[in-house]
Amino acid sequence: MKKSVITLLALFLLTFKANAQTAWETDPVHSNALFTVTHLVVSEVTGHFKEFSATMESTKADFSDSKVEATIKTASISTDNDKRDGHLKSQDFFYAEKFPEIKFVSKSFTKTGDKTYKIAGDLTMRGVTKTIELNAVYKGSVKDPWGNTKTGWTATGSLNRFDYGLNWNSLIEAGGAVVGETVNLQLNIAFVQKK
């Protein structure tokens, strides 16, 4: 009887461990949030946000039931040009004073391949919330020299800035727009498992 109880207890603990929720947070030193947009029709401008954070929670080892949330500080935008950055923070674009954050909350996290996933979620920017999809690649998991478990991800996607009220534009002599309407996104995130 005692042996049976011990066996049942062991099975319970193994099941609990297998289904235990793992929680992750960004390693900011090894993560970045990038964007690219067409400028004057013929070139690209790339920028990033200096301040952003994300969390991920999952109960499955393959991350297929993950839930992700991310927050970006709009005033931290940088394109390596102070004048342009000031314009991007203004009411013409992100209106950082009134809308200090961009938020993303996942609704689904679907495994599409050995290390690929499709993430659908709500992106809120300038008070507008719309669903976007990101294609994510799992880079692997490792233990660092200090005993922390880390996992790396890259997620890419795009959005139409007009959908979020970032409507400013001007036309060049040839008729094209100064700033393109499609913004391409790339998130390179290193997560650290919470202890």
Which of 64, 73, 78 is CA-nearest to residue 106?
64
Which percentage of the chain shows pLDDT scores above 70? 82
pLDDT at 41 over 60: no
What count of other Cβ atoms lies within 10 Å of the Cβ of residue 93?
Answer: 20
Confidence of residue 59 (pLDDT cuts 50, 70, 90): very high
Contact of 126 with 102, CB cutoff 8 Å: no
Contact of 186 with 154, CB cutoff 8 Å: yes
Q: What is the pLDDT of residue 107?
A: 98
Q: What is the pLDDT of residue 21?
A: 83
Q: Which residue has the tokens 């913004």?
A: 183
Who wins on pLDDT, 164 or 16?
164
What pLDDT, in 10s, does the model give residues 75-134? 999 999 999 899 889 998 899 999 999 999 999 999 999 999 999 999 999 999 999 999
- Those residues with Cβ within 8 angstroms of residue 3's Cβ, 6 or more apart along the chain or in another chain: none
Q: What is the pLDDT of residue 42?
A: 57
Confidence of residue 57 (pLDDT cuts 50, 70, 90): very high
Q: What is the pLDDT of residue 2?
A: 55
DSSP 85-132: HHHHHSTTTT-TTT--EEEEEEEEEEE-SSSEEEEEEEEEETTEEEEE
Who wins on pLDDT, 121 or 169?
121
Q: What is the pLDDT of residue 44?
A: 81
Q: How far apart are CA 14 and CA 12, in angstroms?
A: 5
Contact of 124 with 140, CB cutoff 8 Å: no
Q: What are the residue ranges spanned by the domains of the chain?
A: 22-193
Rounded to an integer, the average pLDDT of 153-169 is 89
Question: What's the pTM?
Answer: 0.83
Q: What is the pLDDT of residue 195?
A: 81
DSSP 139-158: EEEEE-TTS-EEEEEEEEEE
pLDDT at 3 over 90: no
Identify the CATH assignment for 22-193 out of 2.60.40.1930, 1.10.3720.10, 2.40.128.110, 3.30.930.10: 2.40.128.110
Which percentage of the chain shows pLDDT scores above 90? 68
Confidence of residue 169 (pLDDT cuts 50, 70, 90): low
Q: Which residue has the tokens 């500080």?
A: 73
